[in-house]
Every structure is written in C-alpha cells, then in structure tokens.
Structure 1
Amino acid sequence: MSWELTAADLPDLARGATLLGTGGGGDPYIGKMLVEQVLGTRSITILDPDELADDLFVIPTAQMGAPTVMIEKIPAGFEPTLALRTLEEHLGRQADATMPIECGGINSMIPLLVAAETGLPVVDADGMGRAFPELSMETFAVYGVHGSPLALAGERGERVIIDTGDDDRQMEWLARGIAIRLGGVAHIAEYAMSGAEVKRTAVPRTISMALALGRAIRLAREAHTSPFDAIEATLSTTLYSHVRELFVGKVSDVERRTTDGFAKGRAVISPLDPATHDRFEIAFQNENLVARLNGEVVTIVPDLICVVDHETAEPITTEGLRYGQRVRVLGISTPAMMRTPAALQAFGPTAFGLSEPFAPVEGEVAAAEAASRFTSPAPGAGTNQGARI
C-alpha cells in the first residue's frame, strides 16, 4: 500500500538509512536539510513495489562520489533533477516515478529531493539493500537490468550522457572519472526500468524499513530502553532478520584517504578494558567491507557492518569515525537475493579484491534455511526494455 512521507519523518528516515548504509551512502544530515528546504509542509507519495503497474516507467536518482568530499562540497540542490530531466530527454520519455539506487545516508534522500521538486512518487525499494561504492554493484544489474544510458549532472549545470550498453563496469569507470573532474561529486539518473523490472530486481521496502529503524531507535531512547534491542526487534520480521554484536570498544586509530573517487581506509577499535588485548579492525571503501577480530573475519561484504554509538545507537559513517569514540559494531544479515552466486560475483568479497570467502554473519545453517525460502528472479533477456524505447 502506498503511503505519504512528510518532513517530520526525515530525521528518523535519515537515521535508519545511515544504519543500513553500513558506513556509506553520504552524509545524511545534508540530504535531510536539502529535502526539508524544498518539501516544506507537503508530502511525498511512497509506492509499494508490489503494487506497481508493469508498464510504470521508473528512473532511479542518486549522488556519487567520495563521502569525504561531500562533507565540504554541499550540493546546490538542482543537480539530481537535472540528471533526471537529461535522461528523460535522451530517452524521449518522462518518468512516472523515481527510486533510490541504495539505502544509505544521503542517497536515501536524493530521490526524495527529486520528488519534492517534481511531484513524482518514490518507489519503496532500491538496488543495493545497503550502500556499495560502485554503480555496477546493483541487484538491478545482477538480475538483468543495466545502468546505461546514464545521465550525470554537475553543480554548474554540466550534463553528460554515458551509454556503454550492457557493460555496467565500464559505465561505472567512465562516470567515476567524470565525477572526479567535477570536484569529486556528481548526481546521476540511471537504471531506468519498468515496474515489472522493479518488482523482479529491486530489494523491496527499504525506505519504510529505514524509517521504522530510525523511529525505533529514537523511541527506545525516549523510553530509556535499549536501542539495540529495538534494532533487533525491528529487523527480526524483515529480510534482514539476523543482528549480531561484533565488538564494543573505543576507536583507537583511523586511516582514511580519498583516492580514485573513493574514501578508502581502515579503523581500529580497541577494547574498553585495557587488560584485554583483542584487536578489532574494519576495512572500508566508502562503506565498511570486512571486520576482523584478531585477524579472523567475523563479518564480510555483502553483510552489513554497522558502527554505532555504544550508548545511543546513533549510526556513524566512515567519514565520521574519530579517535576516542566509544562504539558498538553490529553485523546484520543481507537478504537472500543478495547472496546468490551471481550477486556475490557482483558485490561479494572478490569484487573488492578480498581473499576471504563470504561467510554469513548468522552462520551457514541459518543462512541455508533463509536461502531455501528465496526464489532467484529470472534475469530475462536483460535488454532493459523499460529504458530503451
């Protein structure tokens, strides 16, 4: 069932989306402020993916670039809508709705900004089920919808169309180079598709789940109950049903560098008890990729590695990590559609050059039971007929 999102929902949505973004997706505060400024007292219609007409034309919108750059290079605000209009012009067809490409930080807000400016509804789904650093790392692409043609817009009104056919990695490489030359950040419209393709390839209801998560954390704080119990309870009935506490400690070292259009680095978290000599380390590329305890993998991509404040459960992004922060690290299981062999090839450990194999955070037996309830979407012809007209 469709529902209406208002400005009052944005703080909770930003909090929950940042948790699901596993450290990435861009600064949520900036995105929230941009949407609030345009939306005012109006509302945005959020469409349930199961109720989409098969011929509905959907164009996802997003921001791309290194999160460290986005903190200092705040968008003018018009860029994502310009990217959408540019792709519409190129395709000769107007969008009936927009949608996130990932659920995380600012990229849960960019489609809402477009919706507030254009009146378009937003589909309650996305193509990553979390945040990933590359445009080719989409469930859309895994199950047969390709990103090209892509429209890219800059803060001075620059517009670029990239069309690499079904080569989504080449699309990502070219778009990343342009984003770097625009100062490290750009706004995009890509993966245009039909309503039928959304239902087949997207991770469903991640906007409503992010809103529920953010609200549950806030309400638990207000009631002086555990926000961590609230997170576990909220996720227990979703596709992300397993939550595991990986470590509690203090950030003792952060190495971060912006290179090749990404924020890459690692964070070391030390035990709160100085008598304990455990070493917990997280490696990230925009998002948290792998967590190791004393050199052994405890959680690895595509499962979520979420760093939060150890008391309030406020999510902390990779660019927000600082020496001395007291944190908890949570491991959260991803949906079964993100763990198929094809999905792991697109955004599993080997896609990031990691030598360790994927091991589900909840253990092999529980993961196998979850996978048995999932039927892999048929990729079809993969011609992206909703976009190519």
Structure 2
Amino acid sequence: MGYVLEHKDLLDLSLGAAILGTGGGGDPCIGRLMLEREMAGGRRVEIVRLGEVADGDHVIPTAMMGAPTCLIEKIPRGDECALSLRRLEAFLGVRATCTMPVEAGGMNAIVPLIVGAQLGLPVVDADGMGRAFPNLYQDTFHVHGVPGTPMAITGEHGDTVILTACDNFRMEWIARGVTIRMGGCAHTAEYPMDGPTARRSAIDGTLSVGLALGKAVRQANEKHGDPFDRLVGAVRDTPYRHGRVLWTGKVIEVYRRTTEGFAQGWVRIRDTEGPGETLDVLFQNENLVARAGARVLCSVPDLVCILDREDAAPITTEALRYGQHVKVVGIAAPPILRTPEALEVLGPRAFGVDLDFVPVEESAP
C-alpha cells in the first residue's frame, strides 16, 4: 500500500536523493525547501507503489533539466513543472492520474513531489534511472522503447514549448537547445505513458531507497557512529545490493565548465591514507568514472558518490572545491541498468569514455 509523505521524511529523502544523484540531479536542498513550503500550506503528498498503478492510469513524469550550476543563481519560481504537466495534458487530451520521477537522484527526486502537492496527484514510488543521468534518453523508459515525446518544457517566465520528436535522441538534442534558450535550466513533463507501460519500464521503489539511505546516514551521525558503515549496510538491503568506500582523500584540483547545457569537467582527489596516489573523477552533471591511473574503480551505470569525509554529506559537482576532505563511495546500479541494452546508452562508451563496464563489486580495490 502507498503512504502519505510526512514532514519528518523530507530531510532523509533529500539526503538520500543527493546520494543517488551521484553529484548531479540538482541540489535537493532547494527542492526540499520548496516542498516544505507546499506542505506548510496544508498540501499533502501521497506516494503510491508501482504495482498499484492501474491499467487505465495516465502517468506523466516530471523533472527539471539543464546544468546544475545554473540552479545556483536561478532558483525556480516553483510552479514550472506543474505548468508543463497541465499544458501537456491539454495537448494530449488526457488527464494525468499520477506523476513520477524521471530520475531518483538529486532535486529531480523532489520535483514530482512538489507537482503532486500542487496538483493533488499521487506520486509513483519509481523512476527511470535509479540515480541521475544527464541526458533525457538515458533511462529505462527509453531502453524499453517508450517514446519520450510529446513533452512540455517550461521556463521561469512561463513560456512553454510542446515538443514532438522522431526519436528520443532527437528529443534530447532539441530539448537541450530549448533549455539553453530558457537560461540553462527548464522544467519538463515527458514520457507520458499508461499503467502497463509504467509497470514494465520503471525501476520500482527508488523513492523508498532514497529515504532509507538518508535515514541511515542521519541516524549514524546523530548517534556518533560511522555514517559510511551505515550507508553501505543500508545499500545491502536495497535492490542496489553492493556498496563500498573506494577512496579517502583531499580535493586538490577541480576543472569545471558549463557548456552545451551541462556542467562538465573532472575532480582530482589525493589519497590521504596511503602513498599519495590521485583519483580522477570525470563528470557530466553526474560523476561518471573514478579512475586511479590505469585502475578503474567505478563507472556508469554504477554510482560514483563523493561524500564529506566526516558526515557523509553528498557533494554535488557544482559544489566541489579545492581542499575538501572526502570519501568516494561506489554503489552498484540496479540490475536493470546493467543489461546489454541499457549499457548501450548508460555505459562508459555512451559518454565517449573508451572503457568496458566492470561492476563495482568486481573492480580492483
């Protein structure tokens, strides 16, 4: 059965979503504050299980897209995604019965909850990524052949573009251009689908995973325990199954630029518990590959999470700074993301990195 999200859950969910965001997806703190405002006004958020979605339901996922660096200066007005959903409904001639995250990481885990609160729609406890990815076609919806369009894209001034595309790659290319024109970030309603399509193409229970991971870290800190031990233990009780600390060190260099609608670059972390080796983490909004010399410790679709060394607070790619003391944690992706079909769009080569995917649990220590 579903449940109603409570105010006490918001901190855990935003923390867990930031971990699943692997550095991207937007800062969930902003989303949490926006959702708190909605709930303080008496609005509620109902979460429904994926298995509860009926055949006749109309599911319209909602999300924010663009470069997370832009979000630092461009705080959303708050109703952009709700406008996208309503305008897509009008175009399709249907009424949504629920919304759902496109990605379970970062702010985009929170955005559909805001939409649900504003429009009185239940939110499905599922998503298409199990984490965050930078491109619209990098999800299980696309892998299962679900068209991403028609979609609606709304900017901060209330401008909306309704987009239809011949395939999901063209959808990404055109929507990215629109988002750049809207100032680098925009708000979408996309991948409209019926109940059976949602049940076969979405990753089940990812909002609950975010809640569990955030709760584990919070409770460890409150009890002065080791948040990394608790995090790794909590991962074992989820479909992700495996997690481990890959690196402990200090950030000694960051290269980052906002280009083509993404925050792209790399961060170098010097080992502080060994001979002083360095780890390079490549990112495109999200962390993609963690490599120490020729050794690949973790790569997409598995999760590369850079966390504060003391309290395991996630550090987003736009917040990386010289001198931060961090631990890098690798978390195995859900099995659906590791299939050959999924790796074509989610593996290292999908990002131009000439590497074969090796599961994090099998990678060199």
- Give the TM-score normalised by the residue count of structure 1: 0.91
- Structure 2 equivalent of residue 119 of structure 1: 120
| Deviation of 1:141 (Å) | 0.8
Where does structure 1 differ by over 4 angstroms across 4 or more consecutive aligned residues? Answer: none
Gaps of 5+ in 2: none
1:97-116 per-residue CA deviation (whole Å, 9 max, x = no partner) reads 00000011110111011011
Give the 3-state SS of the residue equivalent to 1:72 in structure 2. Answer: coil
- Structure 2 equivalent of residue 385 of structure 1: none
| Deviation of 1:329 (Å) | 0.2
- Structure 1 equivalent of residue 77 of structure 2: 76
- Structure 2 equivalent of residue 162 of structure 1: 163
In 2, are the aligned partners of 1:246 and 1:330 still within 8 Å (CA)? yes
Give the 3-state SS of the residue equivalent to 1:6 in structure 2. Answer: coil
Q: What letter matches 2:257 in structure 1? A: R
| Deviation of 1:224 (Å) | 1.2
Query: Are 1:43 and 2:35 matched, yes or no?
Result: no
Between 1:227-236 and 1:326-335, the stretch displaced more is: 227-236
Q: What letter matches 1:223 in structure 2? A: K
1:64-100 per-residue CA deviation (whole Å, 9 max, x = no partner) reads 0000001111111110000000110000001000000
Query: Are 1:295 and 2:318 matched, yes or no?
Result: no
- Structure 2 equivalent of residue 199 of structure 1: 199
Query: Are 1:260 and 2:276 matched, yes or no?
Result: no
| Deviation of 1:233 (Å) | 1.6
Query: Are 1:23 and 2:26 matched, yes or no?
Result: no
1:93-104 residue pairs with structure 2 within 5 A?
93-104=94-105
Between 1:113-122 and 1:33-42, the stretch displaced more is: 33-42
Q: What letter matches 1:342 in structure 2? A: E
Query: Are 1:32 and 2:49 matched, yes or no?
Result: no
- Structure 2 equivalent of residue 324 of structure 1: 323
In 2, are the aligned partners of 1:139 and 1:343 still within 8 Å (CA)? yes
- d(CA) in 2 for partners of 1:72, 1:296: 37
| Deviation of 1:347 (Å) | 1.3
- d(CA) in 2 for partners of 1:146, 1:229: 40
Between 1:35-44 and 1:345-354, the stretch displaced more is: 35-44
Q: What letter matches 2:117 in structure 1? A: A
- d(CA) in 1 for partners of 2:92, 2:193: 12
In 1, are the aligned partners of 2:228 and 2:245 still within 8 Å (CA)? no
- Structure 2 equivalent of residue 234 of structure 1: 234
- d(CA) in 2 for partners of 1:183, 1:43: 31
- Structure 1 equivalent of residue 307 of structure 2: 308
| Deviation of 1:279 (Å) | 1.1
- Structure 1 equivalent of residue 53 of structure 2: 52
- d(CA) in 2 for partners of 1:100, 1:288: 20
- d(CA) in 2 for partners of 1:199, 1:2: 15
Give the 3-state SS of the residue equivalent to 1:191 in structure 2. Answer: coil
Q: What letter matches 2:152 in structure 1? A: A
Q: What letter matches 2:327 in structure 1? A: R
In 2, are the aligned partners of 1:7 and 1:43 still within 8 Å (CA)? no
Give the 3-state SS of the residue equivalent to 2:305 in structure 1. Answer: strand
In 2, are the aligned partners of 1:6 and 1:42 still within 8 Å (CA)? no
- d(CA) in 2 for partners of 1:242, 1:82: 39
Give the 3-state SS of the residue equivalent to 2:313 in structure 1. Answer: coil
1:165-205 per-residue CA deviation (whole Å, 9 max, x = no partner) reads 4x101000000000001110100000011121111111111
Q: What letter matches 1:270 in structure 2? A: R
Q: What letter matches 1:46 in structure 2? A: I
In 1, are the aligned partners of 2:43 and 2:118 still within 8 Å (CA)? no
Gaps of 5+ in 1: 365-389
Q: What letter matches 2:334 in structure 1? A: P
In 2, are the aligned partners of 1:87 and 1:151 still within 8 Å (CA)? yes
1:104-143 residue pairs with structure 2 within 5 A?
104-143=105-144
- d(CA) in 2 for partners of 1:154, 1:240: 34
1:141-152 residue pairs with structure 2 within 5 A?
141-152=142-153
1:295-321 per-residue CA deviation (whole Å, 9 max, x = no partner) reads 321111100000001110111111111
- d(CA) in 1 for partners of 2:239, 2:263: 29
| Deviation of 1:50 (Å) | 1.5
- d(CA) in 2 for partners of 1:204, 1:281: 32
Q: What letter matches 1:344 in structure 2? A: L
- Give the TM-score normalised by the residue count of structure 2: 0.97
| Deviation of 1:6 (Å) | 2.0
| Deviation of 1:225 (Å) | 1.2
| Deviation of 1:294 (Å) | 2.2
Query: Are 1:65 and 2:66 matched, yes or no?
Result: yes
